[in-house]
Structure 1
Amino acid sequence: MSGVLSTRSDHTGFQGSIKTSASDFIVTEIDTLGRLLSESAARTLHALDNAPVTRNSCCPQSHQRPESLELLGEEELCQMLGPFDSPSHAPEEGVSPAKRSTEHLAGTAPEGGHHEVGTLSSLLDESVKELLSQFASKIKTGWDSEYDPATHPAEFSLGLVPDKRNRADLHSAVRQKYPFLMTVTKNNEIIVKANTDYKQLCQLVSEEEAFDFFKFLDAKLENSKFSFKPDGNKEHRKAVHHFISSKFGKLVETKSFSVTDISGQNIAIIVRFREKSWFRKRPAADCQEKQDLYTGFILRKENLETLEAISYLSSELGVLPSDFSYTGIKDKKAITYQAMVVKKVTPKRLKEIGSTIEKKGMKLYNIHSACQHLRLGQLTGNHFDIIVRELKHQSNDSSADLKERISEAIENVKTKGFVNYYGPQRFGHGQTVQTDQIGLALLNEEMVKAVKLFFTPEDTDDPVNQAKRYFLQTEDAKGALAMLPEFKVREKMLLRALNRYGVNHEGCTRGWLSIPHSMRIFYIHAYCSKIWNEAASFRFMSYGSKVVEGDLVLSEESGDKNSSLSDRVHIVTAPEESANKYAIHQVVLPMVGHSIKYPCNKVGQWYRERLAEDGLQTCRFRVSALQLNTPGCYRHILKYIHNLSYHFLEDSEKGIKTEKDYHLTESKASLLLSFDLDPSCYATVCLREIMKCDL
């Protein structure tokens, strides 16, 4: 990471080496159901394709496991994780289609309460149903206790449900069983979240009434009515009327009626559906569009960037790099496992290239038909198995016990969290020209400069760098093109355009347009990430862990369902600072863009001055010539480590042995760390916080 960045904790730390070899740094994606996409799990699934599946009822998100993923056999891993959830056109084995329509289900559930249970059992396997129950319980508990980000997740995925009718049944069944939850569809994936409207209503009426009201609301029974308990307080009734009207006014209407209860004459609020409101057409976004051919798989890669691996694969398959989709970019110097989907390629065709791509450091597992592409961020997180070698004290540390120093550092970060910086791989760590420099040139619309930065060679004499060096010296795009290996897809696309249009502003603009949008925007995002890192460091140096006036926090209340992300960002007020209303883990900072708010304190002023240094004081973060549009977003400044375990190892003549009862020997000792991180968190950043040294 460029620049000196502040840290969260004040422990001493220690020194060590990571990524000594790719096998020392293993990254395994965790899918939306909390399952590891590992090689062993994929092989086990392949072996069980035609065998009955025994569902595991334990929580797959609890990765309590032996020292390393590599030490597990296939059978152990399968028992621990449960089966891998592969998206496909057909439901999973053991899951039968829904037997009722939404209307039938909703029409009977409020009375008997058993239909939603039957539907959940028919559409969800036992492990997912148990996870849903645990999620619901945590939401209810979390509303009544202090928020803990490690134990109260914001949302839970039921996975991909391609069939429209099954989705409708699941939506209704979940909301009938758990009215305090809400469900939404994102590209055929059903996401479950806390229903903050339910929580707000509970502040006005009893929880029993709120529970029954939301069941009534979801059932949508024609000519049905709902009555709240009689209420003699006019102002309170007015508040209930206003709440229901503001939240559900398009669906229902409310009126007050005089009733007689045990206390005498009183007023009750009656709710009824507006005429035909429940027959409105489902939004087109939820409808299944024309089917394309998609094939999903698990990619294992070693010592390769994700985009570089995609370049290899697209070249072998004869498709565009943009035909591949994935949930996130993984480390280069590592062994990584991640889900991918490719468009316009059959499973058979993908299997045919297996032996060819293995020479490039890639293997494909669990190749299967899929129903759609993947989205960035469509995962629960990543699991890491990391060995830190050559452990030793910091140069200024006089402590005799290295093991104690390391344990102190790990436990400190486990408790306090770490600053959520973007990691060095975001910027091309170790490269002569880092990706953020190219991004800055593009934002300033310096197209020729951006191209020349892109082709700046490293200090090696391999064919790729020979071609880059030749191009910079001669501007002979055709000659450089002939020197490049086939897998360098980006470079070849750019050079073809430069050969045709010239190495001038117009030619370079056309050159950048020739590579996929996801690759163009990558450089812009790298620059924005660098600014975010510097802003987070400045924020901690300026205010520490105290939440101050002008800070930005992301509201947990959803408000209007159609509200934008910026509408959910709240600026902390002076009274809120005095009352310590917010905790540091709730604070967010903006990734620069054209639609974000800046903090209203000296951090906001820092952003403006920093962008001016790079000539971007008037930048609108739109590069229309390259069809690039960067609205910006928000990122929490603090994150926590999950499911952490660690073991000390000591090198010996016979190999590695587990250290138990003796002191660690400097330079011969190693540390094995296993832990999970949320999406978009970097293990190298977490390790930097633990070790207190740049990696």
Structure 2
Amino acid sequence: MSTARPREEDDQAAAPSPKRTKLDEEAKTGEDVEMADALQSAEAVPAPEKAVESLLPPSHSLLNAPNPVYTPDGSMQRIMETDVGISEYVGHDVPQINGIIKQRFTDFLVFEVDLDGKVIHVKSLDSPEPTKKDADSTPAESADTENKEALSKPEDSEAPSTSNASVVSNEPAKTEVAQDQTIQDDEPWPERLTESLKPFLSEEVIAQVKGLYLEGPEPPFVSDSGWGSRQSKDGETVDSSTATAAPQEEPEESGRGKRGRGRGGRGDRGDRGRGGRGGRHGRPGQREDKRKVLSDPISSKETRTGLHQAVRTLFGGKLETETDTTTPATDEGSRIVIKWSRSGGSGGRGGGRDRGGERGGYPPYIHFTLQKTNRDTQDALAHLSRSLHCNVKDLSVAGTKDKRGVTVQRVSLRRANKTVEDVWKMANGFGGRRTIEEILSKRGERGIRVADFNYRRASLELGMLKGNAFVITLRNVQVDSQDTIDRAMNTIKTKGFINYYGMQRFGTAAIPTHSIGLALLKSEWQKAVSLILRVRPGEHPDVTAARNAWLIDGDLDRALALMPRRVVAERCILESFKKQGGDTRNAMGALSTIPRNLRLMYVHAYQSYVWNAIVSERIRMHGAERPAVGDLVFDTDAAANDDGEAAVEGPDDDLVAEENKDDESAPAGRAPKRSRKPWEPPRVKVLGEADLDAHTIFDVIMPLPGRDVSFPGSTLGERYKAFLRADGLDPENFERKQKEYSLGGSYRKILHLPRELSWSVLRYTDPDVALAQADEDALLGFDAPAPDAGGRFTALQVRLTLGTAAYATMALREVTKTETSAHFQSGLTLASEDQKFRAGAEADADAEAEGEGVK
């Protein structure tokens, strides 16, 4: 016989809101009881009578939530919605619809919606074809071809501009070919450039010119602290490709101590940088560009003249030539120096900031579509960085996506010398792990698939999207009638849902991320370290072993050897301890080694927790139908974006409203760029009695705590401040000595209305049969979704489009009236009746029966 979880018993004793009485009763169903057995592999017990250190903020006592359940060792069992302030509903009068969220990965499909309102899908798995223009290019993509066209236009007229008939006697025939190819040129180094240079240069020298051109106008960045590419003792320039082999005896003249005086320094036109070292964006290691290619000796003056003109014409002024004066002329003739032009030409040096980092005349970024399956965004980007042999900071996205599901979004790559073909091959493991046939017939490795490449002038930044489109399938739906489903869905369609921050925001482990954030805000560095390193029930055995190696055995080396690299924060802290010789006193320093955006995720989780809790309080006080006296609204229509998010940080701050774990994937480790318009903080006002008729409930906003936000009026504002004081924070002071923990705050609308919403009811029997299909599977020709009209079980498929700041799981919560935490939903899946009808389960049962017969 199964027994009810202690948490359910606590629910009975907790004096819930009258609006939730019916829901609480319905929650105690047989299914929940069965689920409890599946969730608990070890028996959980109520919190012991002796004092146990709470892992939740002190303000948890103000939530009117059940007490958390602890295991005997004092670890929290699981974090529930009520622990993070999620408790109320808009459609509280609509009966519960039991269903399972994310039973299969394809039950939760997410497609990014770009700034043009276009839903991103994977269109083709084929290798990019650089020789063909994309007929379906968007205006933005077409604009990015300007640099490419600047290269092709002068090349069309290469024959007329060449004056030496004896050197280019075959040029008229070549011209026709070149002009025909120019229309389709869409690659950094068209083959015809090689053909055009053959009358003047040897194959070896042409290869050197190609390498120089593809490197782009900026010298390649090396890790020799500016010692490379200097003059050697014999006066010859050291080739940039070998400069990193060993440091030279003396730094070049434009190095440290003489900043800004070299060609790449502050005074160089078109390549200005910060800090005096010069170069685009002030990148470290920038130095005078001494790269050059020397031709073989050329005795004919006409041939030398033809080479000068050919280079000038072929490369549109990007490359320049001059007679080599560093070595005396011989009987064999003079050498010609080929190098990047100082004055630019079309798109050359000095050609503008956007083109400063281009390689081979192409924009410096490649954008592509990423489909990931059961991978969080940062994990997927880390995998790509390894495949592409680049720094993960060179990859950026417009928004992070859910881990458990199949998600599609755009990614940008600072490409260096890579072409779209290079990226496709490297990301797909071509030439090493996989063949072309395998790439085009099998799913991507480790749940990662990249496709649909374009060269672009700029990288993506957090917030550069309009929202996300979802196709969500609820399994094993149990409802009294179709009318109840329609009522629930129409409630979301017309009344919206409470715009809570979803459970993803607070982590999936037993240690609440918002508790870590509170410790950081209170400068309790040792406590924050302790929470991060603490053992978490249900964690992967490798991680548990690594934690215990340090926490129990004190073996730092073994802990680092065992800790998987994906466990970022813990590894950073342990590596910091190792650098300090095992000394753990500098906890703040150890925390500072964690990537900034991950640290801010903890702090923003605390802000989200407070917001959830106060919004629940507001709904309990005034309902979710209309504004109330004391509510906050934006004072102007332009104060917030379409989704009701408005940050009050200035342009240098880092808070960006984003889907799911907003701040985990800030692009390229750089602060997000902001609009070039002068920044102004949003203006808000407190509603009085006379203002109520001029506003709707969809205008009402709630602040996230920070130094520059206004609190609601009336009793709710005082309740907000009391909540912060309970956690030991001063509501009037969010400045910190560590600037990154100084919060400006932001505003967020308390209700969210879907932009699009539709639903359908399906039948199925085998839960392993997909009811929705990922883009990759469709392009691979896998079987399409196959609902069974006569199936045993009911599924509800929901298609909706939400803004960037909204959580789809919070919309589904309005339908199911059920806990949405991942561990709870996993328990429902394990206890679900449809699992008995899995094809694999039937095979297992047959095998077991056969085994019993043998015995």
TM-score bracket for the superposition, by shorter chain length? 0.5 to 0.7
Residues 558-606 of structure 1: CA deviation (Å, up to 9, x unaligned) = 59x97865442122223213xx111110111111111111112222112
Q: Which of 324, 334, 342 is the matching residue for 2:395? A: 324
1:607-622 → structure 2 map (5 Å cutoff): 607-617=720-730, 620-622=733-735
Q: Which is worse superposed, 634-643 or 644-653? A: 644-653
Q: CA deviation at 1:615?
A: 1.1
Q: How far does the alpha carbon of each residue in 1:110-147 deviate from its partner, in whole angstroms, 9 at most, with x for none?
A: xxxxxxxxxxxxxxxxxxxxxxxxxxxxxxxxxxxxxx
Structural mapping, 1:134-283, within 5 Å: none
Is 1:522 aligned with 2:601?
yes
Which residue does the alignment assign to 2:695?
582
Residue in 2 aligned with 1:433? 511
CA contact (8 A) 1:435 1:527 kept: yes
Change (3 A) 1:408 1:558: closer
Displacement of 1:349 in angstroms is 5.1
Contact 1:448/1:504, CA 8 A, preserved across alignment: no
Task: Give the structure 2 partner of residue 675 of structure 1.
Answer: 800
How far apart are residue 420 of structure 1 and its match?
Answer: 0.6
Q: For the residues of structure 2 that align with 1:449 and 1:598, how far apart are their CA atoms?
A: 29
- Using the alignment, how far apart are the partners of 2:797 and 2:605 within structure 1? 30
2:697 & 2:680 partners in 1: Cα distance?
A: 19
1:323, distance to aligned residue in structure 2 (A): 3.8
1:376 aligns with 2:462: yes
Q: Is the 8 A contact 1:423 1:685 kept in 2?
A: yes
Q: Quick one: distance in 1 between partners of 2:710 and 2:392?
A: 34
| Residue 690 (structure 1) aligned with residue 815 (structure 2) | yes
Q: Deviations over 1:7-53 (max 9, x none)?
A: 112311301001112111111111111112222x2548x67875566
- Structure 2 CA distance, aligned partners of 1:92 and 1:658? 49
SS in 1 for 2:694: coil
CA distance in 2 between counterparts of 1:85 and 1:380 reads 16
Aligned partner of 1:388 in structure 2 is 474
DSSP 3-state at the match of 1:624: coil
How far apart, CA to CA, are the structure 2 residues paired with 1:526 and 1:33? 30
In structure 2, relative to structure 1, the CA distance for the partners of 1:93 and 1:539 (3 Å cut) is: farther
Instruction: Tell me, yes or no, if the aligned pair for 2:549 and 2:556 is still in contact at 8 Å.
Output: no
Q: SS state of the match for residue 703, structure 2?
A: strand
Q: Could you tell me how far 1:499 is from its partner in structure 2?
A: 1.2
- Quick check: 2:428–2:445 contact (8 Å CA) kept in 1? no
Percent identity over the alignment?
27
Q: Which residue of 547, 554, 576 corresponds with 2:634?
A: 554
Instruction: Tell me the alpha carbon deviations over residues 438-476 of structure 1, each in whole angstroms, 9 at most, x when there is no partner.
Output: 111111112222122222333244323321232222444
Question: Given the alignment, which residue of 507, 525, 535 partners 1:457?
Answer: 535
**Cα 1:319–1:520 shift into 2, 3 Å:** farther
Work out whether 1:7 is the aligned partner of 2:89.
yes
Which of 521, 543, 560 is equivalent to 1:481? 560
2:648 matched to 1:569? no
Q: Determine the structure 1 residue equivalent to 2:237.
A: none
Corresponding residue number in structure 2 for 1:337: 408
Tell me whether 1:603 sits opposite 2:682 in the alignment: no
Pair 1:484–1:24, CA change in 2 (3 A): same
Partner of 2:758: 645
Question: How far off its partner does 1:482 sit?
Answer: 1.4
Matches within 5 A, 1:302-313: 302-313=373-384
Q: Conserved in 1, the CA contact under 8 Å of 2:704 and 2:745? A: yes
Alignment check: 8 A CA contact 1:87 1:371 kept: no
The answer (yes or no) to whether the contact 2:764–2:787 under 8 Å persists in 1 is no
2:575 aligned residue (474, 496, 504): 496
Give me the whole-angstrom Cα distance separating, in 2, the residues matched to 1:640 and 1:486: 40
User: How many angstroms apart in 2 are the aligned matches of 1:653 and 1:27?
Assistant: 23
**Distance between the aligned counterparts of 2:109 and 2:583, measured in 1?**
43
Structure 2 residue identity aligned to 1:690: V
2:491 is equivalent to residue 412 of structure 1: yes
Q: Which amino acid aligns with 2:725?
A: A
Q: Which of these residues, 485, 500, 521, is aligned with residue 443 of structure 1?
A: 521
| Residue of 8, 25, 29 corresponding to 2:108 | 25
Is residue 361 from structure 1 mapped to residue 447 from structure 2 by the alignment?
A: yes
Secondary structure at the counterpart of residue 627 of structure 1: helix
Measured at CA, do residues 479 and 659 of structure 1 come closer, stay the same or move farther in structure 2, by a change above 3 Å? closer
The equivalent of 1:166 in structure 2 is: none
Q: Counterpart of 1:669 in structure 2: which amino acid?
A: T
Contact 1:327/1:339 (8 A) holds in 2: yes
- Report the AA paired with residue 492 of structure 1: R
With over 3 angstroms needed to count, the CA separation of the structure-2 counterparts of 1:618 and 1:337, relative to structure 1, is same
Partner of 2:347: none
Distance in 2 (alpha carbons) for counterparts of 1:457 and 1:317: 34
2-structure distance, mates of 1:550, 1:563: 30
Report the 3-state secondary structure (helix = DSSP H, G, I; strand = E; otherwise coil) of the residue aligned with 1:610. Answer: helix
State the shift of 1:513 in Å.
1.6
Residue range with higher mean Cα deviation, 86-95 or 497-506:
86-95
- What TM-score results when the alignment is normalised by the length of structure 2? 0.50
How much has 1:687 moved relative to structure 2? 0.3
More strand by share: 1
| Aligned residue number for residue 260 of structure 1 | none
Q: Distance in 1 between matches of 2:606 and 2:548?
A: 25
Whether contact under 8 Å (2:102, 2:404) holds in the other structure is: yes
CA distance in 1, matches of 2:468, 2:384: 23
For the pair shown, the structure with the greater C-alpha radius of gyration is 2
Unmatched segments (≥5 aa) in structure 1: 56-81, 98-285, 394-398
Residue type of the partner of 2:685? Answer: H
Once residues 83 and 418 of structure 1 are traced to their aligned partners in structure 2, the CA distance between those partners, rounded to angstroms, is 34
Answer whether contact 2:85 2:609 (CA < 8 A) is retained.
no
CA–CA separation in structure 2 for the residues paired with 1:506 and 1:558:
48
Per-residue CA deviation, residues 38-81 of structure 1 (Å, 9 max, x unaligned), is 22x2548x6787556666xxxxxxxxxxxxxxxxxxxxxxxxxx
Cα deviation digits, residues 88-107 of structure 1 (max 9, x gap): 74259999x9xxxxxxxxxx
Kept in 1, the 8 Å contact 2:354–2:457? The answer is no
Q: Distance in 1 between matches of 2:717 and 2:144?
A: 48
Partner of 2:304: none
Residue identity opposite 1:682 in structure 2: Y
In structure 1, what residue type is equivalent to 2:475?
A: R
Residues 360/467 of structure 1: CA separation in 2 closer, same or farther (3 Å cut) = farther
Letter in 2 for 1:575: A
Structure 1 residue aligned with 2:36 = none
Q: What letter corresponds to residue 484 of structure 1 in structure 2?
A: M
> Matches of 2:607 and 2:402 in 1, distance apart?
19
**Residues 128, 452 of structure 2: 8 Å contact kept:** no
Which amino acid letter does the alignment assign opposite residue 305 of structure 1?
D
Residues 35 and 84, structure 1, Cα contact 8 Å, conserved in 2 = no
Distance in 2, Cα, partners of 1:653 & 1:535: 43
Q: Secondary structure of the residue that 1:598 maps to in structure 2?
A: coil
In structure 2, C-alpha distance between the alignment counterparts of 1:442 and 1:289, rounded to whole Å: 41
Deviation at 1:392, TM superposition (A): 0.7
C-alpha contact (below 8 Å) 2:86/2:612 kept by paired residues: no
How far does residue 543 in structure 1 lie from its aligned partner after superposition?
A: 1.3
